[in-house]
DNA sequence: GCGACAG
DNA sequence: ATCTTGTCGC
């Protein structure tokens, strides 16, 4: 596992990502998946887009669910300072510390973890899901509501349709490398961008995203984590 | 220099 | 991510 410093500059973070990405393992999930966890973050005291942040703290929630019934088995919540700014491509340096801590507070390690964001569908192959998976040595997949990089055709309009996501020629390293898929999780709605994080394959990412679906756009683990973290944010004072 | 740009 | 109510469509 990595064990690096999180308090570094954006320049150092980018260099670090390139090195860490070499250790990410894209391979089929092994062993039965009995539990799946979802994680999400919210920012305290963020205020309107035009206002300056009042409180620089992030709240992260991890939810553990039974992979068959999708029943909630446990939830964990953490609140901690977040110093790193949001920079496209460096999201993990802003959220991973909180996410890792929340997952660590769950009563048991999940067989699969779903993160809000990219896995290896990233300019340097180290999106949030890949970084967290590497750090915790867990199987992870990234489920994002929009694309960070790469090119793809529009998937069919029906639930279950998906197209390949390949890196742009501009992304250093692999030109046209297959890194994920754009999946229609619900007929007629905007598709999700999924990619493996660590110790999972692209097929696993697509399969579990659809398998955890409940007729709504977001898969249940992610959806539940989002609802829980939103409630937690309001309870702690969204605008101190 | 000009676009693109997870949450 | 964040602010915010009602409203249009299946």
In tens, the pLDDT along A188-234 reads 999 999 999 999 999 999 999 999 998 899 999 999 999 999 999 99
Number of structural domains in chain A? 1
Q: How do A35-44 and A112-116 pair as beta strands?
A: parallel
Cα–Cα distances in angstroms (integers) from residue A210 to residues A47, A110, A184, A194, in the given order = 34, 18, 9, 10
CA-closest candidate to residue A21, choices A130, A96, A107: A130
Q: Is residue A190 part of a domain?
A: no
Find the helix or strand (DSSP H, E) in which A92 lies: helix A92-104
**Residues in contact with strand C, defined as Cβ under 7 Å from any of its atoms:** A 41-43, 46-49, 86, 116, 145, 226, 230, 233, 238-239
Q: Is residue A95 part of a domain?
A: yes
What is the CATH classification number for the domain harbouring A117? 3.30.2170.10
Question: How does pLDDT run across A2-61, given as a tens digit for each residue?
Answer: 889 999 999 999 999 999 999 999 999 998 999 999 999 999 988 777 788 888 899 999
Question: How does pLDDT run across A87-143, given as a tens digit for each residue?
Answer: 999 999 999 999 999 999 999 999 999 999 999 999 999 999 999 999 999 999 999
Q: Is residue A169 part of a domain?
A: no
Q: Is residue A150 part of a domain?
A: no
How many Å apart are A186 CA and C4 C1'?
26
Q: How do A162-166 and A178-183 pair as beta strands?
A: antiparallel
SS3 A228: helix
- Predicted local distance difference test score (pLDDT) of residue A23: 98
Q: Is residue A154 part of a domain?
A: no
Rounded Cα distance between A52 and A50, Å, is: 7
Q: Is residue A84 part of a domain?
A: yes
Cα–Cα distances in angstroms (integers) from residue A113 to residues A4, A7, A125, A155, A197, in the given order = 21, 25, 18, 25, 9
Cβ A184 vs Cβ A162: under 8 Å: yes
- Which nucleotide shows the minimum CA-to-C1' distance to residue A59? C1
Q: Is residue A223 part of a domain?
A: yes
Structural domain containing residue A60: 10-141+196-235
Q: Is residue A75 part of a domain?
A: yes
């Amino acid at each position: 596992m990595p064990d690096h410093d999180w308090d570094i500059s954006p320049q150092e973070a980018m260099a670090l990502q390139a090195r860490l990405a070499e250790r990410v393992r894209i391979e089929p999930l092994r062993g039965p998946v009995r539990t799946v966890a979802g994680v999400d973050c919210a920012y305290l005291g963020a205020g309107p887009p035009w206002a300056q942040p009042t409180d620089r703290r992030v709240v992260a929630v991890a939810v553990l669910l039974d992979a068959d019934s999708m029943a909630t088995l446990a939830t964990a919540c953490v609140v901690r300072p977040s110093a790193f700014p949001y920079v496209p491509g460096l999201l993990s340096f802003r959220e991973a510390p909180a996410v890792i801590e929340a997952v660590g507070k769950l009563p048991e390690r999940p067989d699969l973890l779903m993160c809000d964001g990219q896995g290896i569908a990233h300019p340097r192959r180290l999106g949030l899901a890949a970084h967290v998976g590497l750090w915790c040595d867990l199987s992870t997949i990234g489920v994002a509501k929009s694309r960070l990089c790469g090119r793809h055709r529009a998937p069919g309009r029906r639930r279950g349709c998906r197209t390949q996501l390949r890196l742009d020629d501009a992304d250093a390293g692999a030109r046209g490398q297959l890194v994920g898929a754009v999946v229609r999780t619900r007929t007629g709605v905007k598709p999700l961008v999924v990619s493996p994080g660590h110790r999972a394959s692209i097929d696993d990412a697509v399969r579990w995203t659809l398998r955890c679906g409940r007729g709504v756009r977001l898969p249940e683990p992610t959806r539940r984590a989002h609802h829980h973290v939103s409630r937690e944010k309001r309870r702690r004072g969204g605008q101190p």
